[in-house]
A and B are shown apart, each in its own frame.
Chain A
Amino acid sequence: MAAGVLLEARGVTKFFGGVRAVRDLDFSLGQGEVLGVIGPNGAGKTTLVNILTGFVRPDRGRVVFRGKDITGLPPHKIANRGLARTFQGMRPYPGLPTYKNLVVPLNSPRVRKTAAGRFGDLDSVALDLLEEVGFERDSSVPYKTADSLPLGYQKRLELARCIALRPEVILCDEVFSGLSMAEISSMLPLLEKLLSRGIALILVEHRLRELFRITRRVLVMRFGEKIAEGPPREVLGRPEVTAAFIGRGSPP
């Protein structure tokens, strides 16, 4: 697997009014890698995802994707370069059948440049995508309205929305939340399939046990700062990480 660095954050800092959401954060992600981002609530994880994907502009620092500076670019341009993300509060387009939800990413410039085919074929592309993420092809599920789906399916739809973009990196913001252990277990093979295709993943998670089954590198955040990075076992053994999760200490 090539060891080229795909996504990099250098000294990223963001203040919201007087609150320091993210401070001086550095990390790098290589091709085909999985990075887990963990930390207690309010650690700045979602802000970090927002910064990386262009929804929030950092006050200081840079984000570099495939060697090019993408700091401050609008979200759709970043998505078109190959950086996709899921949303935590995850809202599919109401009232539309599930497969129609994928119309939006399939119409993005990125897909239209690479994919051949007339507009009429988008429906079958969408159905293929749904099948890849685990919707049974010949059932009625892809045709049901998206908000009537059970949670597990909705999460898969979210991932399908990302995959439709043919991204190189997918940022998953708490994609395991709300799922049972069985549901997560059935989702891990999907993530591994994505990895085997060369898509790098950043998983922001609270469900540590399940996360550690798939990732070998973890970044711990607390009060906006990176306090540890490394293999899961090693990182969890550190006293400052335990303190972060149990709650000793106050923001500097």
Chain B
Amino acid sequence: MESVLVYGTINSIIFALNAIGFSLVYGVSRVPNFAHGSIYVLAGFVAWSLVNDLGLPYPLAVAIALAFSAVIGWGIHRLVLRRLRGLPTSEIIASFAVGLIILEGLRLQGIGGFKGFIGPNYVLKPFVDGKIEVLGVFVDSQRLLVVGVGLVLAPVLWAFTHHTRLGLSLRAVAQDEQAAMMLGVHSDRSALIAMVLGSALAGLAAVLVLPLGNVTCEVGYQVLIYALAVCIVGGLGNWAGTVLASFLLGFAMKVSTHWFGAVWESVVLVGTIILVLLVKPSGLLGKQKELEERV
């Protein structure tokens, strides 16, 4: 019972970390960033390469990986998404294509000496080794680190979006783009900033969570699915809903693993999504934009 509680909480925070980047980008620029999962994997891959191929010290590699993911986000927005602003169909297709290029491209092997991601042997070392006992359950320190970062990140993000000029301008654009533009907020630039931040958050999630498992391309798809699931259940663009949904789904999946076995996880995930779509389509907390949400 305690293990369910502990691992459920950890899982929920992982979900939240995964989803917050996606939710941010969508909330501000109304573009669903289907490349989210690929940026995640890319960050992990970069960190791994820096450590294993270039022999850089681990913290430095992580920092570079974070910066790299932000740059990738900038690149995607500047080169692809900016040209398509205002064309929702094209934006969706383009971000999907970019995501696939990165994810499938990482599978390649042997092109110009590039070693792709085939095989399960790509592991990032955790930051901290060892186990600590929490509520009678032994938990990896890395997992606790994830929880710690998550708990610190939440108030930091809250403070950012509620008390800094930049954060407030992002929130303004998220609420009402036209009104924000009238008040002098540059909506294209806000979209860019959101994309950069969202990608950096994806990278952060990657370097924290990937050490708990392997770095593979499937992880990219999985992360994207989890992010989408959290956003659907919590309400697109609604950050409080994202957190709530992370906990709901995080616990639901751990509970189902405990009771039915790991193989039923996807079924539970699907079931929750369908249930929410049928009962409260805009998401658990998505009731603000009624005119736009429901058709």
Contacts and interface: CB of A to CB of B under 8 A. Distances in A.
A56 B288 contact: no
A89 interface: no
Interface string B268-295: 0000000000000000000010110000
A57 B289 CA distance: 11
B291 A50 contact: yes
Interface string A6-35: 000000000011000000000000000000
Contacts of B288: 16-17
A16 B175 CA distance: 12
Interface string A51-94: 00001110000000000000000000000000000000000000
Contacts of B291: 50, 55-56
A149 B288 CA distance: 36
Interface residues of B, number: 3
Interface in B96-137: none
Nearest to B294: A74
A88 B48 CA distance: 57
A127 to B, nearest CB: 30
Contacts of A16: 288
Interface residues of A, number: 6
A139 B291 CA distance: 38
A56 B290 CA distance: 7
A55 B288 CA distance: 13
Contacts of A57: 290
Contacts of A50: 291
A17 B288 CA distance: 7
A57 B291 CA distance: 9
B240 to A, nearest CB: 13
A56 B291 CA distance: 6
Contacts of B290: 55-57
A53 to B, nearest CB: 11
A56 B287 CA distance: 11
Nearest to A74: B294
Contacts of A55: 290-291
A187 to B, nearest CB: 28
A16 B179 CA distance: 15
A235 to B, nearest CB: 30
B285 to A, nearest CB: 13
Interface string A39-55: 00000000000100001
Nearest to B295: A74
A56 B292 CA distance: 10
B113 to A, nearest CB: 52
Nearest to B290: A56
Nearest to A16: B288
A55 B289 CA distance: 11
A157 B20 CA distance: 45
Interface in B67-87: none
A55 to B, nearest CB: 6
A163 B290 CA distance: 27
A17 B171 CA distance: 14
A51 to B, nearest CB: 11
A47 B54 CA distance: 61
A16 B291 CA distance: 12
Contacts of A56: 290-291
A151 to B, nearest CB: 22
A17 B290 CA distance: 12
A50 B289 CA distance: 13
A26 B228 CA distance: 43
A160 to B, nearest CB: 24
A57 B288 CA distance: 11
A50 B291 CA distance: 9
Nearest to B175: A17
A16 B292 CA distance: 14
A136 to B, nearest CB: 36
B14 to A, nearest CB: 31
B294 to A, nearest CB: 8
B279 to A, nearest CB: 16
A57 B290 CA distance: 8
Nearest to B288: A17
A50 B290 CA distance: 11
Nearest to A76: B295
A76 to B, nearest CB: 10
B278 to A, nearest CB: 16
B25 to A, nearest CB: 22
Interface of B: 288, 290-291
Given A16-B288, A55-B291, A56-B291, 5 more contacts: A17-B288, A50-B291, A55-B290, A56-B290, A57-B290
8 contacts: A16-B288, A17-B288, A50-B291, A55-B290, A55-B291, A56-B290, A56-B291, A57-B290
| In the complex, the 5 A-B pairs of residues with the closest C-beta atoms, listed nearest first | A55-B291, A56-B290, A56-B291, A57-B290, A17-B288
